[in-house]
Amino acid sequence: MYGLINKAIQDMVCDRFGEETWQTIKQKAEVQIDDFLRMESYPDDLTHKLVKATSEVVGLSSAEIMQAFGEYWIQYTGKAGYDLILDMGGNNLPEFLDNLDDLHTRLSVNFPQYRPPSFECAEEEENTLELHYHSSREGLAPMVVGLVKGLGTRFNTEVNVTQTQNREEGAEHDVFLIEYKPN
């Protein structure tokens, strides 16, 4: 994963638990890097080690960490100079979710080693969507839940996300039922 992800994990931990906790996490994960370079590609295993160590140090499950990170990521990327890309994604939650693959295609220009996920969004009924998530990476479904919740905050929309199919439980890919209500 790119350093931007690891830097965002670091910033989330420091914002919520303090610099001392981050140092403990780095030590537990056996990570010697002081400054993650945003545009540098790092092994996925390094990111998974950071999440696992964060889970152990702060007493939350890895899924809870990934969900919190997904929510944090939406605001973080806006502040990190990617707000224009986010703005191009759409003006409301359904539009944005429907444009996720286009957004990831745009990001691929800046991140040549990027292996983006793929999303399919289908309206089930009014204010209800089904989001299909395909990824070559393991263990990121909880982050998708957080991302959708973070997008709900971005678009001032109340969101309820339920995972209905789980690749880790044998499904071909992850599927989420999203119920939303614009405020």
The two beta strands, 157-165 and 174-182, are antiparallel
Residue 84 falls inside a structural domain: no
Ramachandran angles phi, psi of 26, nearest 5°: -60, -45
Residue 159 falls inside a structural domain: yes
Question: Residues 171, 112: one domain?
Answer: yes
How high is the pLDDT of residue 32?
93
How high is the pLDDT of residue 109?
64
pLDDT tens, residue by residue, 9-61: 999 999 999 999 999 999 999 999 999 988 888 999 999 999 999 999 999 99
Question: Residues 34, 98: one domain?
Answer: no
Residue 76 falls inside a structural domain: no
What's the CATH number where 156 sits? 3.90.1520.10
Residue 55 falls inside a structural domain: yes
How high is the pLDDT of residue 111?
65
How high is the pLDDT of residue 58?
97
Question: Residues 97, 151: one domain?
Answer: yes
pTM score: 0.90
Q: Report the domain count for the chain.
A: 2
How high is the pLDDT of residue 78?
81
Burial environment of residue 33 by CB neighbours within 10 A (0 to 12, 13 to 18, 19 or more): middle
Contact (CB, 8 A) for 133 and 119: yes
pLDDT tens-place values along the chain, 183 residues long: 788 899 999 999 999 999 999 999 999 999 999 999 888 889 999 999 999 999 999 999 999 999 999 999 999 988 877 787 788 888 999 999 999 988 877 666 666 676 788 899 998 899 999 999 999 888 899 999 999 999 999 999 999 999 999 999 999 999 999 999 988
Question: Residues 108, 163: one domain?
Answer: yes
How high is the pLDDT of residue 107?
66
Question: Residues 98, 170: one domain?
Answer: yes
Residue 87 falls inside a structural domain: no
Question: Residues 98, 154: one domain?
Answer: yes
Question: Residues 106, 178: one domain?
Answer: yes
How high is the pLDDT of residue 127?
95
Question: Residues 46, 97: one domain?
Answer: no
Question: Residues 21, 99: one domain?
Answer: no
Residue span of the structural domain in which 54 resides: 3-60
Residue 7 falls inside a structural domain: yes
